[in-house]
Chains A and B, each alone.
Chain A
């Protein structure tokens, strides 16, 4: 595993931590004061800081550090997490996410923004009431544990239990710490080097080192893998104990580290914290035991306490002069002790959270493909058994039925592997609401429901963009300014509600705002101005609402940064349709609008209508079909040289002969003999697709045609039907486009061009 892979894992974990952070902060924002929530938030920032430090991502570390310091104040009850504090914290979480992304993908972050937030955070840590103008020159000491809060904040100072030295810290400009660094052999076995640690330490502040070589035995007794030196270091620094501790961050488990403030009584709590690392006194009589400990380098850090005990046993025996035997015995003991400790640790971990594994998406996809094959094969097998078996009562049939159930179950479980909760996308939306609300000077609360609703990962990935558009629209256009809201007798704080739920094998996402609703008069006027509808068109309220999905429609009076370039809702509609979904709107003037999106749970399968066209079997995606009808001769009207229209409830709709467009036949089919599928296509407008017959409705597994061939105009993909034959899935938009005169480009593949 190379460094990049480790880094990739770090960033993946960062994403999880950031999600945790944000959800924790939002919980706090909603009034949750559970200490566990605060701890979770603190842990998330701390883990990011720790990992970032290991990769030398200094920007990230320094910001996370300040953030952590402020969070620590909340954790120790010095800072009341009220709305204002959380506003700063949520913004900080956003910046932290930006910094993480910048560290991963390159690019830069708005420096002024993060610097301003650092100041705000530091001010909070210093116990000041957050006020935008409060720019306090914070001394470098602020990076360490925070000083005691001032009285004006109104919070009673509560003694600090974690970083016990804030009082001294505040008083002295550069505290002198006594550091005792006593490496154990494991430290070296794991590839650390004392020199490098000491060099890092020298960067923290001015220091003087004393190396204690008393433990060094004579040359013939030296264990080459043992550790004999210990260091006493006096560090004068303004950065506090945390900075010193962070130098030893990855060595802490393998050394005895003591950090004391010189000339100051050491806090008892501080010692208690160090208890798991009981210093093993290094004297000559212990050397053999210590050496053997070095051999057993697989030792778990958690078993350190046990190890200490066994070392003592080993040492006692070593004194009695049976050095080798003792080594062996102690090793045996330690393995047992270590195993027990590990088992115990694992048991606690298991109780804590359901174990998960990271799996490469390709592997999951392969499995899904194979299960798709299994389903098809099972269907083929059943079909041929039924054809060849006249009685229909044989045990083979029963077995087949069981097989069918089993394969369905396998398919469902495998699909569930790809299913992920929509939570990450919803969380991203809360950030967008915050940012847009800030920009527009509105006060908006985002309520999310059903974030644990699961849907295929590809759907989730593609959902973010349209949802972002819609959220921006809702905040920018939907919700009114606080003044207008008050004037209308509403709560000045607007509400945007984002809901996800499962509904009959699809996922339903609802975005509701309690704003002014759609101004139908203005929408209609705008549509008339933009030549989208005729001036005297008589439209129902619902039809007017749906006008906003037309291309080139924007009702905002002025074009803003946030939305209103007129590429909004039609793009949203198109991307939802590309996912095989539908979108609708309902609006009540004065009460707000509700957008409802219905999406398939997975993109690997598709609900389709199996039809026959010129002897070929085709699949038409069900989401595209509005209705099907049997045309009557009287409803067909010729129009111009080759076009024909069909009249449906007094409106005329162009007839599209699928067989002609796909080149399956050269003559026009007689519409009366076929079936018309009324489809809604990209850019609105309905078309009637002529097919010869409808075979039925079926869920089909989508197969790529491009993998071994090439893209075929008018065809979206292929699938395999129950009889084992390949059927093509119609690309409705392309076919409709072709009927408008944009010819389907005959793409020649495997062509004789040499």
Chain B
């Protein structure tokens, strides 16, 4: 698989940018269903460390993933100031725990640069590209490869 920019459709797109630690990431706004504050999650037995548990989202049992831990960074210690981005990944709904939502970006494909070769494996797997915005570096994540759907079927 090529780690270069995957073929993106022409024209501008909207992205939601958020912060984890001192890094900034963004995802396509079309996959975001809502953004809500942190509520304590019910722990799940035998879950990987980055799965914080499940919460009640208006009657739906919603799993919460610590995105920081998922990306191989330091596990988050959630506080009331943390934010859950409720995203739709294929047929499932998953909540992503992040530090804060920072921006809504409107970008064109030209703004997205390929992921540099030096990046670590984890980042190369999930990063779809890098954006340069007013001196900041924002990493565009691909949710589908963060949460491959086939796994649950195999389990």
Q: Is B44 an interface residue (CB 8 A)?
A: yes
Given A373-B59, A709-B61, verify A750-B147 contact (CB < 8 Å): yes
The residue in chain B whose Cβ has the minimal distance to the Cβ of A724 is B56
Assess the B61–A705 pair: CB atoms within 8 A: yes
Partner of A664, one of B40, B43, B125: B43
Q: Is A519 an interface residue (CB 8 A)?
A: no
Within 8 A of B (CB), among A684-712: 703-712
Assess the B145–A712 pair: CB atoms within 8 A: no
Chain B residues contacting A746 (CB-CB under 8 Å) are 46
Within 8 A of A (CB), among B47-97: 47-48, 50-51, 53-56, 58-63, 65, 70, 72, 92-94
Chain B residues contacting A726 (CB-CB under 8 Å) are 41-42, 53-56, 61
Chain A residues contacting B45 (CB-CB under 8 Å) are 662-664, 712-715, 728, 744
Given A747-B155, A750-B94, verify A707-B60 contact (CB < 8 Å): yes
Q: Is A369 an interface residue (CB 8 A)?
A: yes
Query: Please, how many angstroms separate the alpha-carbon atoms of A571 and B119 in the complex?
Result: 56
Chain A residues contacting B55 (CB-CB under 8 Å) are 725-726
Q: How far is the CB of B31 from chain A (nearest CB, A)?
A: 14
Given A373-B58, A725-B40, A744-B46, verify A707-B125 contact (CB < 8 Å): no
Q: How far is the CB of B98 from chain A (nearest CB, A)?
A: 16
Q: Is B2 an interface residue (CB 8 A)?
A: no
Chain B residues contacting A704 (CB-CB under 8 Å) are 61
Assess the A728–B58 pair: CB atoms within 8 A: no
Assess the A725–B61 pair: CB atoms within 8 A: no
Partner of B151, one of A715, A720, A748: A748
Query: Please, how many angstroms separate the alpha-carbon atoms of A229 and B135 in the complex?
Result: 88
Q: How far is the CB of A732 from chain B (nearest CB, A)?
A: 14
Tell me how many residues of A have a C-beta within 8 Å of chain B. 40
Assess the B56–A720 pair: CB atoms within 8 A: yes
Q: Is A751 an interface residue (CB 8 A)?
A: yes
The residue in chain B whose Cβ has the minimal distance to the Cβ of A369 is B59
Query: Please, how many angstroms separate the alpha-carbon atoms of A714 and B43 in the complex?
Result: 13
Q: Is B152 an interface residue (CB 8 A)?
A: yes
Assess the B56–A725 pair: CB atoms within 8 A: yes
Chain B residues contacting A728 (CB-CB under 8 Å) are 42, 44-45
Chain A residues contacting B147 (CB-CB under 8 Å) are 750
Chain B residues contacting A370 (CB-CB under 8 Å) are 59
Chain B residues contacting A725 (CB-CB under 8 Å) are 40, 42, 55-56
Q: Is A616 an interface residue (CB 8 A)?
A: yes
Query: Please, how many angstroms separate the alpha-carbon atoms of A751 and B69 in the complex?
Result: 11
Q: Is A185 an interface residue (CB 8 A)?
A: no
Given A372-B59, A373-B59, A748-B155, verify A705-B46 contact (CB < 8 Å): no
Query: Please, how many angstroms separate the alpha-carbon atoms of A472 and B45 in the complex?
Result: 42
Q: Is A597 an interface residue (CB 8 A)?
A: no
Q: Is A617 an interface residue (CB 8 A)?
A: yes
Q: Is A754 an interface residue (CB 8 A)?
A: yes
Assess the A718–B59 pair: CB atoms within 8 A: no
Q: Is A753 an interface residue (CB 8 A)?
A: yes
Chain B residues contacting A744 (CB-CB under 8 Å) are 45-46
Q: Secondary structure at chain A's binding surface: helix, strand, loop or mixed?
A: loop
Q: Specify which of B55, B59, B62 lies most central, judged by the most chain A CB atoms within 10 Å of its CB.
A: B59
Q: Is A727 an interface residue (CB 8 A)?
A: yes
Given A718-B54, A726-B56, A747-B155, verify A703-B46 contact (CB < 8 Å): no
Tell me how many residues of B have a C-beta within 8 Å of chain A. 36
Partner of B93, one of A708, A715, A749: A708
Chain A residues contacting B145 (CB-CB under 8 Å) are 754
Given A369-B59, A709-B63, A728-B42, verify A750-B54 contact (CB < 8 Å): no
Q: CB-CB contacts of B120-145 with A at 8 A, as 1s and 0s?
A: 00100110000000000000000001
Chain A residues contacting B46 (CB-CB under 8 Å) are 662-663, 712-714, 744, 746-747
Assess the A748–B93 pair: CB atoms within 8 A: no
Assess the B92–A703 pair: CB atoms within 8 A: no
Query: Please, how many angstroms separate the alpha-carbon atoms of A6 and B45 in the complex?
Result: 48
Q: Is A641 an interface residue (CB 8 A)?
A: no
Chain A residues contacting B60 (CB-CB under 8 Å) are 703, 707-708
Within 8 A of B (CB), among A575-625: 616-617
Assess the B42–A708 pair: CB atoms within 8 A: no
Assess the B151–A705 pair: CB atoms within 8 A: no
Query: Please, how many angstroms separate the alpha-carbon atoms of A643 and B32 in the complex?
Result: 49
Q: Specify which of A718, A752, A754 lies most central, judged by the most chain B CB atoms within 10 Å of its CB.
A: A752
The residue in chain A whose Cβ has the minimal distance to the Cβ of B59 is A373
Chain A residues contacting B40 (CB-CB under 8 Å) are 725
Partner of A751, one of B43, B48, B58: B48
Chain A residues contacting B62 (CB-CB under 8 Å) are 708
Q: How far is the CB of B11 from chain A (nearest CB, A)?
A: 29
Chain A residues contacting B59 (CB-CB under 8 Å) are 369-370, 372-373, 376, 703, 720
Chain B residues contacting A373 (CB-CB under 8 Å) are 58-59
Assess the B42–A749 pair: CB atoms within 8 A: no
Chain B residues contacting A715 (CB-CB under 8 Å) are 44-45
Q: CB-CB contacts of A415-443 with B at 8 A, as 1s and 0s?
A: 00000000000000000000000000000
Q: Specify which of B45, B58, B93, B126 lies most central, judged by the most chain A CB atoms within 10 Å of its CB.
A: B45
Assess the A750–B48 pair: CB atoms within 8 A: yes
Q: How far is the CB of A287 from chain B (nearest CB, A)?
A: 63
Chain A residues contacting B53 (CB-CB under 8 Å) are 726
Chain B residues contacting A663 (CB-CB under 8 Å) are 45-46
Assess the B48–A752 pair: CB atoms within 8 A: yes
The residue in chain B whose Cβ has the minimal distance to the Cβ of A706 is B152
Assess the A705–B48 pair: CB atoms within 8 A: no
Assess the B94–A708 pair: CB atoms within 8 A: yes
Q: Specify which of A373, A617, A707 lies most central, judged by the most chain B CB atoms within 10 Å of its CB.
A: A707
Question: Which 8 A-B residue pairings sit nearest by Cβ, starting from the closest?
Answer: A662-B45, A373-B59, A710-B152, A746-B46, A709-B63, A726-B42, A747-B155, A718-B61
- B residues with CB within 8 A of A: 40-48, 50-51, 53-56, 58-63, 65, 70, 72, 92-94, 122, 125-126, 145, 147-148, 151-152, 155
Some 9 contacts from A to B, beta carbons below 8 A apart, are A703-B61, A707-B60, A713-B46, A714-B45, A726-B53, A748-B48, A749-B47, A749-B151, A754-B125
15 other A-B residue contacts (CB within 8 Å) besides A708-B60, A710-B151: A662-B46, A663-B45, A704-B61, A705-B61, A707-B92, A709-B92, A712-B44, A718-B61, A720-B56, A725-B40, A726-B53, A726-B54, A728-B44, A749-B51, A754-B148
